[in-house]
Homo-oligomer: A and B are copies of this chain.
Amino acid sequence: MLERVLQQIDHDLPASLDRLFALLRIESISTDPAYRDNVRSAADWLTAELAGLGFDASVRPTAGHPMVVAHDKDGATGPHVLFYGHYDVQPVDPVSEWKSPPFDPKLDVVDGRKRIVARGAADDKGQLMTFVEACRAWKAVGGGLPAKVSILFEGEEESGSPSLVPFVKANAEELRADVALICDTSMWSRERAAITMMLRGLVGEEITITAADRDLHSGLFGGAARNPIHVLTDILARLHDRDGRVTVPGFYDGVDEVPTEVRSLWDTLDFAAASFLGSVGLSEPAGEAGRSVLEQIWSRPTCEVNGIVGGYTGEGFKTVIPAKASAKLSFRLVGDQQPERIREAFRAFVRKHLPADCKVEFADHGGSPATRLPFGGPYLAAARAALTDEWGVEPALVGGGGSIPVVGDFKRELGMDSLMVGFGLDDDRIHSPNEKYELSSFHGGIRSWARILAGLGSQA
């Protein structure tokens, strides 16, 4: 059956491209209110496409741009997956730098490789259509999908997703699935697919330390009066030990080691730590001792001061002992670290080290847990096998150091992990003029999803 589906995909590729081009022609820029109707048109177009495939599809209003929700859960014996993508795109400025109009998609050939050039080609219309076209091929050949599929398309991703959490909360029962499939990431290289199987979580905190009730003259009071900058720097300096480990008690609760198999795989990835750091003017990994750079940025938690300010910071000099000093910190979380426990442990740490006459205020800048697929679980296994079959080489299993909001939202609101497989390339110029998506990404992406669906279905 899968072979017939793949043949259908190959055969239907020109029509798949036509459909993608139709979607790319819709100017669905979500950040600019002038394009509101265009964004709506894209939602309508997708809904019609999915309905045409037999999905129970609808445009669903939000306070902002609408969501598209579609279900095809009957008949399949496989697990229930929720596919997520976004149909809105970035603005196109500066238009003068585009070699062809951003909403007039064309197939270019560069160095013998075909590429789809248009705003949204890679981010994320081309990527989400790989999944739609895979579903279409399965339906065309076999009459049904091998897994229970729900789809959520968002129209505000490029605007910070203001409606996503309210919508997910309000429709939690409808949207909750066994796993989320997200197609908004990149391949490891043009020849090798990648599965983002873990993303670090995040806790944002701000602390303000106050000592005297006004700014003091450092000549009159210096030596006797508490300086809150000293208190702050002292506390911040205590947050790491000599080996770069975070010293907050309980910080590493829930942090586990990446399995040996994965770590070995990371060691074989052609990742050049020297050029990764060298690209920004650095030469030595600065984090936890004894960890590779990939571990440091993918699988280890961090505590970073992202901003600090206190006293006089203008031109010249002022001999002031300020009344207060403050810092913004972020914690990157992994494994089962709990954002609110980390926040409380940090606050307790600060209070414990606060000297006499000082007060501290905290501001909560939000948090979300890390998300990851179980290393030995069925979804990861299905995706690995499918991508190996399609690309002829084991996919890279990567982590993500930063958070992808929707992944955290799914984890927090629905308790659902995400399997992130995307077919973008590093030189796709997303958010920039002349954005492109290679035809090999589009074609291989459709085939990859067809295989992944087959793999998920076989696990029923």
Q: Which of A's residues lie within 8 Å of B, judged by CB?
A: 200, 202, 204, 206, 211-214, 216-227, 229-230, 232-234, 236-238, 240, 273, 276-277, 280-288, 293, 296-297, 300-302, 304-313, 316-322, 325, 327-328, 330, 332, 355-357, 365-366, 400-403
- The 8 Å CB contact of A233, one of B200, B219, B285, B308, is B308
**DSSP class of A's interface residues: helix, strand, loop or mixed?**
mixed
- The reply to whether B317 and A312 form a contact with Cβ atoms under 8 Å apart is no
How far apart sit A287 and B220, CA to CA, in the bound complex (Å)? Answer: 13
Contacts known (A234-B237, A356-B283); A307 close to B312, Cβ less than 8 A = yes
How far apart sit A321 and B302, CA to CA, in the bound complex (Å)? Answer: 12
- The reply to whether A317 and B204 form a contact with Cβ atoms under 8 Å apart is yes
- The reply to whether B308 and A307 form a contact with Cβ atoms under 8 Å apart is no
From A327, which residue of chain B is reached at the shortest CB distance?
B229
- The reply to whether A213 and B283 form a contact with Cβ atoms under 8 Å apart is no
Taking the closest CB of chain B, its distance from the CB of A420, in whole angstroms, is 14
How far apart sit A308 and B326, CA to CA, in the bound complex (Å)? Answer: 10
How far apart sit A224 and B402, CA to CA, in the bound complex (Å)? Answer: 13
| B-side contacts of A365, CB under 8 Å | 316-317
- The reply to whether A200 and B214 form a contact with Cβ atoms under 8 Å apart is no
- The reply to whether B311 and A306 form a contact with Cβ atoms under 8 Å apart is yes
- The reply to whether B402 and A217 form a contact with Cβ atoms under 8 Å apart is yes
- The reply to whether B283 and A218 form a contact with Cβ atoms under 8 Å apart is no
Taking the closest CB of chain B, its distance from the CB of A7, in whole angstroms, is 40
From A210, which residue of chain B is reached at the shortest CB distance?
B281
How far apart sit A230 and B246, CA to CA, in the bound complex (Å)? Answer: 12
Contacts known (A212-B282, A236-B233, A280-B216); A221 close to B297, Cβ less than 8 A = yes
From A273, which residue of chain B is reached at the shortest CB distance?
B224
| B-side contacts of A316, CB under 8 Å | 365
- The 8 Å CB contact of A213, one of B224, B240, B281, is B281
| B-side contacts of A225, CB under 8 Å | 277, 280, 282, 286
| B-side contacts of A222, CB under 8 Å | 297, 302, 304, 330, 332, 401
How far apart sit A312 and B225, CA to CA, in the bound complex (Å)? Answer: 28
Contacts known (A286-B227, A307-B310, A307-B313); A319 close to B402, Cβ less than 8 A = yes
- The reply to whether B325 and A330 form a contact with Cβ atoms under 8 Å apart is no
From A300, which residue of chain B is reached at the shortest CB distance?
B223
Taking the closest CB of chain B, its distance from the CB of A358, in whole angstroms, is 9
- The reply to whether A286 and B224 form a contact with Cβ atoms under 8 Å apart is yes
